[in-house]
Amino acid sequence: GENVEQHPSTLSVQEGDSAVIKCTYSDSASNYFPWYKQELGKGPQLIIDIRSNVGEKKDQRIAVTLNKTAKHFSLHITETQPEDSAVYFCAARQIQGAQKLVFGQGTRLTINP
Amino acid sequence: DTAVSQTPKYLVTQMGNDKSIKCEQNLGHDTMYWYKQDSKKFLKIMFSYNNKELIINETVPNRFSPKSPDKAHLNLHINSLELGDSAVYFCASSQDYSRNEQYFGPGTRLTVT
């Protein structure tokens, strides 16, 4: 089945700087890659996603890139703000066998004022 | 209006007890899920129901039994609770089985003493 690795596990950046979180996946058949933001005491919230037929997608300060050949995708946050502090999860949709989202281990992002 | 809601938010109980967590979504979605998030924040799917029919059943102890009385509700009943069941349980929903975007509830923190 699908396996997703996420790095780094923790990331601390100065407010206004950029943050990058990277994920790799194992199953080349996976076709959908969402990113979730989880704030303290809340459920994961979908912030951006990308499908396998697209290489890059941007939504204001957030962008996701996908390299299908290398089987990795990344989340880029520019001009970080204190409210960006949260745990971020990447996921890949496994389509062989049980179709399900397989999550990475999470990255705790801290924005320092 | 809350899209995916869960009750209770916190549940503290003793080993050996039986407890239930309820989930409701008002998005008109056909597919609902239960996820378990452990103390290290790792998110893993447990069950998925599509239109009241079980479609994903991961390797979860049979002490866990999901029940879907209708498309908008997916409850989780846990028998003979064990210390290792302590975790945050999230309900989620998606428009249907083939749609990728999943929306999560706020979570239920279960503590077994």
Average pLDDT over residues A2-16: 97
- Taking CB atoms and an 8 Å cutoff, what residues of chain A touch B41? 38, 87, 105-106
pLDDT band at A96 (very low <50, low <70, confident <90, very high): confident
pLDDT of A16 higher than 70 = yes
CA–CA distance, B102 with A18 (Å, rounded to integer) = 27
The length of chain B in residues reads 113
Average pLDDT over residues A4-16: 98
Q: B55, B97 in Cβ contact below 8 A?
A: yes
CB contact under 8 A, A49 and B101: yes
Express as a percent the part of chain A with pLDDT over 90: 88
Name the residue of chain A whose CA is nearest to B42's CA.
A105
pLDDT of A70 higher than 90 = yes
- Average pLDDT by consecutive 10-residue portion of chain B (113 residues)? 90 97 95 94 92 85 92 95 97 84 95 97
User: What amino acid occupies position B25?
Assistant: Q
The mean of the pLDDT values for chain A is 95
Interface of A with B (CB under 8 A): 32, 34, 36, 38, 41-46, 49, 51, 87, 89, 93, 98-101, 103, 105-106
Helix (H) and strand (E) counts in chain A? 0, 11
pLDDT band at A54 (very low <50, low <70, confident <90, very high): confident
The minimum CA-CA distance between A92 and chain B, rounded to whole Å, is: 10
Instruction: Match 């943050």 to its residue by tokens.
Output: A19
pLDDT value for B1 = 61
pLDDT band at A52 (very low <50, low <70, confident <90, very high): confident
Q: A89, A21 in Cβ contact below 8 A?
A: no
- Taking CB atoms and an 8 Å cutoff, what residues of chain A touch B90? 43-44
Average pLDDT over residues A41-58: 93
pLDDT value for B33 = 95
Give the pair of three-digit tokens for residue B47: 């069950």
pLDDT value for A76 = 98
pLDDT band at A98 (very low <50, low <70, confident <90, very high): confident
- Degrees (nearest 5) of the Cα angle A93, A42, A81? 90
Instruction: Match 């349980």 to its residue by tokens.
Output: B89
When CB atoms are compared, the residue of A32, A43, A51 closest to B90 is A43
Give the pair of three-digit tokens for residue A32: 């959908």
